[in-house]
Structure 1
Amino acid sequence: MSDPNQEEDDDLALNEDEIVRVIDLDDNDKDYNDSDENEEDDDEMDTGEAAAPVQDDSALTFSGHRDSSVICVRLHPTNPEIAVTGGQDDRAFVWSTRDGSVIFECTGHSDTVNSVGFSHDGTMVATADMKGLIKVWRMDTCAQVWSFEADEVEWIEWHQAAPVLLAGTRDGQVWMWKIPAGDLKTFVGYGPGASCGKILPDGKHACVGYEDGALKIWDLKSNQALHSVSGHDGHKDSVYCLDHNSNGTLVLSGAGDMTAKVTNIATGKVVSTFTCQQLADEDSVESVAFSKTHDYAVTGTLGGSLEIWDLPSKSVRHKCDHPPGIVKILWSPAGVTFYTSCLDGSVREFDSRNGQLLRRWEGHTAGILDFDISSDGSILVTASDDSSSKVFSLAPHPT
């Protein structure tokens, strides 16, 4: 391998014998264009936790995924007027958050599109389905430029500074490609599925959580596992979620064992274990999030436990009042407040300093399965079980 002190661009260099062929498929079909607002009265979720909202606080509703759950959503990294969604209807759309028009459809999937994302510079968008088909499209031409078939895909993640795509699969493999050339590296699994993954801010390492509770820190250049956290120190159940702090020295993992663990990336040692409050028989830590500006972390569980943790003291700072079914947590770009999505169909904003609920946005008639916030903090876009994706304005809270 190359000298580890060479420039960062060389750190991502891949050997020629690791190149896989590019699969050429037909150009995408751009004929679909449906931006009507969703007016259907969809059934409530099986959990019965969502009900018809008394109001719709959204600025726009995208209903391209008709009669089908919208599973995932991401916003363009530099242009908040562009979003991509994937659904249970085996379809993915790139669309305008300004007027709801379809920019183009990412065609060719034959199973639920469960992961989507834009490259760091927004020039490409990737879509992946549960069968394992991953496709990448150029934004300027709306044309497919790369495709690959793996095992069942659990997640995809773009590198934050290079055209490099990472993916984790149900059989435990982690794949990395240069796009669109298709140069390939694999991070060999050992049986349990690679349930979640994050590329760390240094661009040279990734953290992957597995279904058996293990956590591995991978070197992206050597494709070797530098550290493995398991056994006595690791989680006792599947790792469902990951986040890193602002400089990537720590990673926070949440699992089905109702714990969240803070792991030091350099040493591979668990430095804190947070035992989250269990509020239901069937409960798990569904989302974790590091503040990028304060020594805080937030954990959310399916049972409705929402806790703000103080990292230096390793203790609960605040317990927030929240209904069951927390799906995802994201901090605001400013770092003082954070947002949650819930199976009751609402989005909420909390103040991390006192744990108080600041605002609540309604409009969905079923659970919110995913959401994303624009880089400028102006809007939030959801993906819901009610077949719609909604755009909510995040105008500053009145003081």
Structure 2
Amino acid sequence: VRVMQGEDEYFDGEILQDEGTQEEILDSINHLVESGDVILDEVDDADSEMEDSEMDEEVPNDAKLTLQYHTDPVYAVALKESDDQWIIGTGAGDEIGTLFRCDKASLNTEEPIIETTIQKELTGHADSITCVAWNFDRSMFATGGMDGVVHVWNDEGELIVQLQGPADSIEWICWHPRGNVVACGSADGTGWMWNSKGLCLNVFSGHDGPLTCGRFTPDGKLLITGSRDESVKIWVPTQGTTQRNISGDLFHQSPVLCFDCTDSVIISGGENGSLRLSNYISGKILNKYEDHEDSVESVQFCPVFPVITSASLDGLLKIWDLNTAQLRSTVLAHDGGVIKTKIDEREPLLYTCGVDGTIKVWDVRSSTCVRTFQGHTKPVLDIDISSNGKTILSSSDDQTVRLFQW
């Protein structure tokens, strides 16, 4: 792991004085990525198959539990915790979701556990399930599919309601932070909101492209959506009306792929590597950050330390000072690209997963990697963490779901 911080260059905790500027350091990293030393774009199919086979044999498995019953890539996972159990929710390309219950005590063993039998299969989708989410009190589990349908289940895996309306695939789903109301965004350019009984409360129309990301604000009073039309819209959920539209020459000039928000501020990432900080109450764009070299896949505010993190398919994790808007550090985090990040709500820790099949834990204060977890043999597509951050759930293109503890 390499960390750049100011004019100092760090390798495994040792500080080496760098004679160049920070821009030169970043240029050298970008050159490394583009040259193929990190991303091997020119490897032929035969060599790739050989390397995949070798990876399958050589990767150690740090997981406490591995679920091996899906027959296609597992696109989404979500974790529920009780006093003595974990409930693992999944959604995959084989058109099924699953719920798997695991006693916490059963993981107190040196030998990893491998399960190949589905406990509860969630059927009914006619295409891949690409997003899943527990509601605010973890009593209901929602699955969204490329068939344009959202299903809501109880935690026993019994179907409560099927929600229809979107004319294209579901891109994301989110629950209201305090109530049993679920929203989704579709590739048809619309957003939808229902209650848990199946009543459609509002349809959000106004974007000119697929809705790529969305969530309620922390207080639940507003809904924010990002789109491939290069805009972010702020909605009043109870009315279905737009309160603010953030777009234009100073905003993203490419599809908006991700965002995170606080009580009044939003950080958004674009397909062209752009980052923007905006006040979603006033609609004012507050800051433009230095671009990544590839699409920004995930951005986060840290609740316990004043930084913003951005992660990209260029493989880099950037950490920004929230107060000064200055770049604190850049880390070459994952070979081939970072796919997703998750912030710890209680500690200054960031969890990342990448194309290289690993999951990493970072201390955002020092920009150091404190743990690396292996086990997956293909890109890790999604992660979730427990409330204390010590249990990590992951899903992968290798068709497995893994649970790690530290």
Shorter-normalised TM-score: what interval? Answer: 0.7 to 0.9
Is residue 305 of structure 1 aligned with residue 316 of structure 2? yes
User: Is the CA contact (8 Å cut-off) linking 2:346 and 2:388 kept in structure 1?
Assistant: no
Is residue 268 of structure 1 aligned with residue 283 of structure 2? yes
Q: Which residue of 2 aligns with 1:73?
A: 77
Q: Which residue of 2 aligns with 1:363?
A: 375
Is residue 291 of structure 1 aligned with residue 317 of structure 2? no
User: Is the CA contact (8 Å cut-off) linking 1:259 and 1:274 kept in structure 2?
Assistant: yes
What amino acid maps onto 1:319 in structure 2? T
**Equivalence map 1:215-230=2 (5 Å):** 215-230=232-247
Output the CA distance in 2 between the equivalents of 1:229 and 1:108.
Answer: 37
User: Is the CA contact (8 Å cut-off) linking 2:302 and 2:345 kept in structure 1?
Assistant: no
Is residue 129 of structure 1 aligned with residue 157 of structure 2? no
What amino acid maps onto 2:141 in structure 1? V
Is residue 112 of structure 1 aligned with residue 128 of structure 2? yes
Q: Which residue of 2 aligns with 1:83?
A: 88
Output the CA distance in 1 between the equivalents of 2:327 and 2:54.
Answer: 29
What amino acid maps onto 1:177 in structure 2? W
Q: Which residue of 2 aligns with 1:94?
A: 99
**Cα deviation digits, residues 231-282 of structure 1 (max 9, x gap):** 112211111111113xx2111111112111111121111111212332xxxx
Structure 1 residue 46: Cα displacement:
12
Q: Which residue of 1 aligns with 2:257?
A: 240
Distance 1:117 1:44, change over 3 A: farther
Q: Which residue of 1 aligns with 2:362?
A: 350
Output the CA distance in 1 between the equivalents of 2:48 and 2:379.
Answer: 8
Q: Which residue of 2 aligns with 1:195?
A: 212
Q: Which residue of 2 aligns with 1:143?
A: 158
What amino acid maps onto 1:216 in structure 2? K
| TM-score, normalised via structure 2 length | 0.80
Q: Which residue of 2 aligns with 1:320?
A: 331
**Cα deviation digits, residues 302-357 of structure 1 (max 9, x gap):** 01121100011111111113223100111223231211100100001111111111
How many pairs does the alignment contain?
A: 344
User: Is the CA contact (8 Å cut-off) linking 1:302 and 1:326 kept in structure 2?
Assistant: yes
What amino acid maps onto 1:334 in structure 2? R
**Equivalence map 1:147-226=2 (5 Å):** 147-149=162-164, 150-151=166-167, 152-226=169-243
What amino acid maps onto 1:286 in structure 2? E
User: Is the CA contact (8 Å cut-off) linking 1:212 and 1:236 kept in structure 2?
Assistant: no
Structure 1 residue 106: Cα displacement:
1.1
Distance 1:328 1:170, change over 3 A: same
Output the CA distance in 2 between the equivalents of 1:271 and 1:310.
Answer: 14
Is residue 385 of structure 1 aligned with residue 397 of structure 2? yes
**Cα deviation digits, residues 59-99 of structure 1 (max 9, x gap):** 01011212x10001111265660111100111100112446
Output the CA distance in 1 between the equivalents of 2:161 and 2:82.
Answer: 23
Higher-helix-fraction structure: 2
Kindly indicate whether structure 1 or structure 2 has the higher relative contact order, using CA contacts under 8 Å at least 6 residues apart: 1
Is residue 251 of structure 1 aligned with residue 276 of structure 2? no
User: Is the CA contact (8 Å cut-off) linking 1:70 and 1:389 kept in structure 2?
Assistant: yes
Structure 2 unaligned blocks of 5 or more? 1-46, 107-114
Q: Secondary structure at the match of 1:108?
A: coil
Output the CA distance in 2 between the equivalents of 1:54 and 1:242.
Answer: 33
Q: Secondary structure at the match of 1:234?
A: coil
Output the CA distance in 2 between the equivalents of 1:291 and 1:223.
Answer: 30
Distance 1:272 1:120, change over 3 A: same
Cα RMSD (Å) of the superposition? 2.2
Structure 1 unaligned blocks of 5 or more? 1-42
Output the CA distance in 2 between the equivalents of 1:368 and 1:102.
Answer: 21
Report the more deviating stretch, 163-172 or 130-139.
130-139
Distance 1:137 1:233, change over 3 A: same
Structure 1 residue 190: Cα displacement:
3.6
Output the CA distance in 1 between the equivalents of 2:264 and 2:204.
Answer: 21
Output the CA distance in 2 between the equivalents of 1:50 and 1:273.
Answer: 43
**Equivalence map 1:54-73=2 (5 Å):** 54-66=59-71, 68-73=72-77
Output the CA distance in 2 between the equivalents of 1:274 and 1:77.
Answer: 37
| TM-score, normalised via structure 1 length | 0.82
Output the CA distance in 1 between the equivalents of 2:55 and 2:291.
Answer: 28
Distance 1:378 1:350, change over 3 A: closer
What amino acid maps onto 2:402 in structure 1? K
Distance 1:45 1:216, change over 3 A: farther
What amino acid maps onto 1:205 in structure 2? L
